[in-house]
Amino acid sequence: MSSITKTDLADRPGFAVRLGGVAFGQYAAAGLIALFLLAFLVVPVLTVIVAAFQDKHSGAFTLINVYDFLRNELFLRSFWNSLYVSLMSVLWATVLALPLAYITTRFAFRGAVMIQTLGIIPLIMPPFAGAIAMQLLFGRNGTVNLLLGDWFGINLPLMEGLNGVIFVQAVHYFPFILINLSTSLRNIDRAMEEAAQNLGAHGFRLFRKVVFPLAMPGYIAGASLVFVKVFDDLATPLLLNVQDMLAPQAFLRITSIGIADPIGYVIAVVLIVFSVFALWLASFATRGKDYATIQRGGGGLSKRQMTRLDAVFAYGVIGFILAIVLAPHLGLLLLSFATIWSYAPLPDGFTFAHYRTIFGESSQLITNTLIYATLAGIIGVCLGTAISYLVARTKVIGARWLDFIAMSALAVPGVVLGMGYLRTYYAIELPWGGSLAAFWGMIAIALGVRRLPYALRACSAALQQVSVSLEEAAENVGATKARTIRRVVVPLMTGGIVAGFVTSFATAAVELSATMMLVQSTADAPLAYGLYVFMQSPAGRGAGAALGVLAVVIVGICTYLSHVYLERRSAPSRREEGA
């Protein structure tokens, strides 16, 4: 193309206009995204966390609160605890995710789609129900320890203190690594691996030296999500009664009654800043490395046949991991059928009564959940695709900031976002009456914003693996930018987009904290809210669990369908192997 001179370009009518149009289109898209983020993330959050920088008596600007934060032993201890727990959770999540991702993407394996789906189920941890089920199974007097106590007189402190948090978080969030890593692995040109085998590498060394580094963008995307998510998560530590971590401290302080305490908002600011910093670090680590390995518009690792011994080993490993990560859901299932389950390895008896209890109310809850979660997923992947494209492929000024701002949603506690929405939009009246903040669409937007980071990271990783030359090829044969994106880039990113949608959808379906602030009537309530309502009394525990099971099953089915779709899309390219 270098032979085309300036005069050639000028001779082509409309070329300069088109170039201008491209840039204009990109800036228009960036502007719209910025506007959306401003309206539904930045402004609402600022209205709340501005208290961090206000004198609590006069309301004047001050940094004294930040100073107080830095001088407080409890907060510093909480910071280090949060950091430790996040890093350890990433480590253990990796240990859980690696074998699943590797085995299912690398071998011709029966039930690979099923395993991929089951591997995502842990993300769908219904609030309260998951923690209660975990306690019933792994707690000090849970099934495992009661049996161990009976048989060997030992008690494993699986759910105690920081280790308990790490255990639960690793189990809960490892799907982020699984999904992103699997997508990356699928996109590696198999010649990359064969070349290494040809030179004498195999087994774990091959994986460590070649396959894993090539899948790094996906891994980093997943691992950074796990890290930031664990760092910012308040529900799990609080449910396990660990209060000396940063996010729980922020929550405890922001939501305490009757005490005007700006430090909670300072912590929220610290969480946001640190999370963005961690994500920046992650993006810095992967930047400048040309890992675009889809060069032929397809490829992927060849799926190998396993020997019988391999298969036994692989199924063993997978079975063990799935047993651990699906334990909370097994516990939930037991709980939903249990009459009474108290200080015993198993419930006293089983009943369908809980399902009958929820039968009448669940259909509205399910409809609402599916609508909200789908909208949240769509918001996530639309913005995610657009932002990742702007960052990776255009020179739009400030695109990277859109990325960081969108990612900072990860660090915003749901309750802060919910409060911000009420504060920003409650006074705005809708034409048909009622407040804008009370409009059900706001729940969907709040969920979409909260889950945007998941979709964004998945889309970015996918785009990073699509070689620019494929795009150039399309433009070379005369496709416009917009058409290239639609017909070439987006289809090649399908894996990442589906992964992003699945994670946003699945997690939005069980999200509670922001919803809690915004739900105005039971008619608008999603499943997670219904579940919360049930879980507030001993009698409602079984019914809550039943609702939780229902949520997991429905979201699980949707996830499975997405995976089937994904496998179908990528299957044709794999069939060409023989040539």
Partner 1 sequence: MTHIDASGLKTAGISIRKVNLSYGSLQVLKYVDLEIQPGEFFAFLGPSGCGKTTLLRVIAGFNTPQSGSVTVGGREVLSLPPWKRDVGMVFQSYALWPHMSVRKNVAFGLEERRLPKDEIGRRVDKALELVGLGHLGSRRPSELSGGQQQRVALARTIAIEPTVLLLDEPLSNLDASLRVQVRRDLLAMQRRLGLTTIFVTHDQEEANTICDRIAVMKDGVIQQVGTPMALYDNPVNLFVASFLGTANILDGAMRTNGREQVFELPCGSRFPVPDEHRTGAKLFFRPQNARLALAGDQAETASVRVKGKVSHKEFLGASVRYGIRTEGGEVFADIPHARGEAHLPDEHIVGVDVPLSRVNYLPA
Partner 2 sequence: MKRRDFLIGSCLAPVVLSASVNAQQKRTLSIVTSLPKELSSAYKAAFEKLNPDINVEVQQRGTQAAVTYLRETRAKSATDIFWASAPDAFEVLKGEGLLAKFVPADTGVPAKIGDYPINDPEGYYAGFALSGAAIMWNSRYVRANNLPAVKGWNDLALPVMFDHVAMAMPSRSGSTHLTVETILQARGWKDGWALLKSVCGNMRLITERSFGVPDGVTSGQFGFGVVLDYQALAARGAGFPVEFVHPSDTTIVPSNIGVVRDGPNSAAAQKFIEFMLSPDGQAILFEPTVGRLPVRPDSYKKAPAGTPNPFAIEWGGGGGFKFDVDRSEKRYAIVDVVFDQLISFQLQPLKNVTKTLHAVDANLAKRPNAEAATLAAQAREAIALMPFDDKEAQSAEFAEAFHGSNEKKKGPRQAELEQKWASFARDNYAKAQQLADKAAQLAG
Which CB sits closer to partner 1, 135 or 184? 184
Alpha helix locations (H) across 233-352?
235-239, 246-254, 263-286, 308-337
Instruction: Report the C-alpha gap between 417 and 42 in whole angstroms.
Output: 9
Binding mask 51-70 for partner 2 (x = CB under 8 A): -----xxx-----xx--xx-
**With helix as H, strand as E and coil as C, how does 358-423 read?**
HHHHHHHHHHHHHHHHHHHHHHHHHHHHHHHHHHHHCCCCCHHHHHHHHHHHHHCCHHHHHHHHHH
Two tokens, residue 320: 């063990």
Query: By CB under 8 A, is residue 378 in contact with partner 2?
Result: no
Q: Are the beta carbons of 98 and 104 closer than 8 angstroms?
A: no
Instruction: Report the C-alpha gap between 196 and 205 in whole angstroms.
Output: 10
Shortest approach of partner 1 to residue 206 CB, angstroms?
8
Q: Which does 433 bind (CB under 5 to 8 A by kind): partner 2, partner 1, none?
A: partner 2
Q: Which does 153 bind (CB under 5 to 8 A by kind): partner 1, partner 2, none?
A: none
Query: By CB under 8 A, is residue 216 in contact with partner 1?
Result: yes
Query: By CB under 8 A, is residue 430 in contact with partner 2?
Result: yes
Query: By CB under 8 A, is residue 372 in contact with partner 1?
Result: no
Among 341, 355, 454, 505, binds partner 2 (CB under 8 A): 341
Among 20, 213, 434, 491, binds partner 1 (CB under 8 A): 213
Which SS3 state, helix, strand or coil, does residue 57 take?
A: coil
Query: By CB under 8 A, is residue 287 in contact with partner 1?
Result: no
Instruction: Report the C-alpha gap between 446 and 517 in whole angstroms.
Output: 10
Shortest approach of partner 2 to residue 543 CB, angstroms?
9
Query: By CB under 8 A, is residue 196 in contact with partner 1?
Result: yes
Query: By CB under 8 A, is residue 537 in contact with partner 2?
Result: yes
Query: By CB under 8 A, is residue 390 in contact with partner 2?
Result: no
**DSSP string for residues in 95-135:** HHHHHHHHHHHHB--TTHHHHHHHHHGGG---TTHHHHHHH
Q: Which does 293 bind (CB under 5 to 8 A by kind): partner 2, partner 1, none?
A: partner 1
219-278: which residues touch partner 2 (CB under 8 A)? 238-239, 241, 243-244, 248, 252, 255-261, 263
Which CB sits closer to partner 2, 11 or 73? 73
Distance of CA 477 to the CA centre of its chain: 37
Instruction: Report the C-alpha gap between 137 and 119 in whole angstroms.
Output: 19
Count CB-CB contacts under 10 A for residue 148.
14
Which CB sits closer to partner 1, 237 or 300? 300
Of the listed pieces 289-297, 468-476, 498-506, 517-525, which binds partner 2 according to CB under 8 A?
517-525
Which residues are at the interface with partner 1 (CB under 8 A)? 189, 191-192, 194-202, 205-206, 209-210, 213-214, 216, 289-293, 295-296, 302, 577-579
